[in-house]
Structure 1
């Protein structure tokens, strides 16, 4: 059967291309084999993350997106798998890094190119997102891509060669209101082994955006990096010369780090020798070319040239999977019927049976096994194929069940009427449908009660305005949206960890130890957690929008908040509340003197009813606090340092070494002992007797601040005396004593026993104290 003319022409072009590829590939292979130190070759796995940020809210740029697109196209031509982001927003930074990381593997060539604004703060380089609204140094880390994070991603992936190209030293408006910790341009980085970093200009200097379609630096890169046979270091030196010449010496690119071997963007070999490939080589090369193209036309062209080739059956499988009923392709030339084949062709048929089976096993999908059975209904591997189809059917059934379990667990984690409705919409007759219906009714009742509680606590704004002479009318929804825009949450990826205190994690307080046991494994899903504890300024937006009265402010017998007294006791002070907690605070301090009930009213307002913002479960909280660590505290305390040194120490013992805690967290220390005669403190001074502004102390491994110390944090869980019967996932425990809720993290008043990742405390849901606040969590949609 003849092919239509356009397919015939296509097939001829394809075969011609295959032969040209063979002629080019074989001498290159011979050249590679003849060298001891081989430069970059096509077998390398090359991955690039390319980011161009131009559409900044505060200071847009002209060229970075053009730079990124041109670099993407150039890298693709050099066999890089490119992850591309234009005008990267803060919420998308994590996704870009995850996609980049997913493509890397040990030994990869990893490249990061960035064009846009960049700035340094305290020796770290940040690349701001285009929607960043930066007015102070504290805003930068959570609205920017940290260059060190990219380097860590490369290092963790064990890539063989790491290249970082930063056209990010343009002058920018962000640092005008910064303290002396910020500088112009970018800072020098201590590059990890096997990493080469190239800056558009010297560290601390400013680069030009360029008058043409590309920045001055990127234009030089584009002109230089595809020069054949030039090692990367030499290529970048030539880029430096180009830039210096173009700017008349005003801008000089800078290189940091070194590679452990040679890397070439494009290699070159000796004069090519034309070798006529053998028929077997030609068949294999044609098949490889068809696989690389992976189109129906390519497989059809292969079959036209090699209807009885070694890979003919595999090509038919591929063709069948790519061809749809609406786009029929002409059939490949048929092989002679089995009854008319000579003996030699029968052997070839058996070889095709085995060859196809090997292809099917390599893919291991239902479609491939079904195609094999159609192609060889009496083949040697029919029984195996049918067995595999049964296994895959069972596997698919289990996967569907797993998806349903995940949907149910997500609904439980969010624990809202809307979440259970979403599960029921997807699985109306699912395994957990009856439970979901009951949970939906319960969540609806709880939401109604929370709303009623919030309404009871809101002042009559009309009468207040009248007394003040008609205050300006507020728009609560506008205030709520503004509050949401100001939130900054870290995206934490799913993981598994050992929750609770290990057997050797002991203190002098047996009750604290018992509450944190038994240790058990917990699987945590993806979720988001605020970088900082909710601040005074943020909570004020809620109060101003609703005129809400916290429980500490409501007239009655329980008016007030518990504040510290000399000697280590907390007692109720009727004049204390979140505005006046008994010590000086600023808008950047964490809000305190708020009860768990107050937090629920705040969340109801923030969500506009039911919604994604919530308190973390205590399992989520501990996962975030540990940030991958397994020691009692996130900082090192080898040898049970605290238990050994601080068994009821009164602090200030000159014979004991200073505690590491004060370098990492705001805890009960010498400052508090001096101010309030606190009886049990850490043997150190952090300079903060009471709470400190968010971010004063360093962040943990997940870039979260004040997870340990500063103020205790409410969680969603009801109190249970220990972890017995705790679930193996991270949903909150809503059984137990729900009149009391779990508090985590310890505070500025906490003794060493409660400055631990596993430490748990309880308080009544109506309790308020000047060392107790909260942190927001969110389940991604």
Structure 2
């Protein structure tokens, strides 16, 4: 077949040397313990026909073994349901495990052996391939790190339902798809160069831990003191509860007739292309509304102005295109992600459609964002809050969310062209001397700088639900900021925004990034914030 001939040609090229990478996305199945890859147009009615219509994965491995090159990588996003299952007497889902990979070979499956993987729910790539592509763009990751981080991301986004696996016989030196950015000098010099350029508290602390008596130690301690002082100024210590403003004597009415009060001032920052903070600004004026949920629990909302903005990113993925102009009417949005204390207060109110579990499963804290919330539960929260207060609460539309996240900016992040783990809660993967600086699973809301409109954690901490149904791109998207799709049914995939604490790349936190999630399933990395129209 044409597919087999192309694989033969691939094997001949490998004999000339180099690293071989074989990637297959589509349907794969196992018959009698052997894995088969299905070409486009294959017609199979029974298991006996598979070996004649499909290509055995072992055929690919045989070409690699014959080539005897140093390193080969086989990536199979083919662990899907058997599309021909009706013609089989019995069968096991997914692909069989591999026990005889040629020396120097890594074989990556989209999910565990005998299991099935997500097709991507209408997206161009499945969940596994989408996350793998994100990791392949990161310089300085070894072969093993790329797939290990892909596994972490897929496990998180699937709620533990899909866990990629690798089978490896790779030996010798590390291999990089994108090599580390070279820095001249010794290990100590490279560590110091990174600490200075990143201006990261974690990086400087790690440098001092590894080289406490170096000739740069005094300078490093001065830098650390400066950064820690700035961190206290900008971020402050994580509050024991969200800072709620004392109502100012001045009150004014919103365009929708809500009596607004002056909220507390806040600090925001701007960064340069390296992530260095180049400006800190104390914002004095911020208007909003404080909803009393009882027992000392408050819900602060910030007034956002009527305006227009460019939604999406021409240089982003297909999900973020085309860039288009959107007009948005003024509205009120939660200053913070809904906290566990706020969730508990509303969960105790009478049920409207579905019950709400008042406590999170593991990570608990009054001021932590509520997580493991599905879209249906977030909608129930809004409905109960509306009935209690008489206000019209809902999840934000996707356009409202991005408008609020940008806060009048056109840069990838509200703070500028890039972001660092000092400015948002995400797993920034600070690589120095092979060590990884991981973020704690949850961070108290309000622990990082706000954007220019006084909204906190629009980048990171938790992915956040939007009301909209998922669409692959922005073709035919509304231009007036309304919800795109039907909110009366939870059957369709829904939009999530903002990135989360487990996100490994800053790019996942960009204002324009959008992802999809199952509205009815538990999702340990998704929370939400509310809007009041």
Larger Rg: 1
TM (norm. structure 2) is 0.43
- Larger helix proportion of the pair: 1
- Larger strand proportion of the pair: 2
TM (norm. structure 1) is 0.30
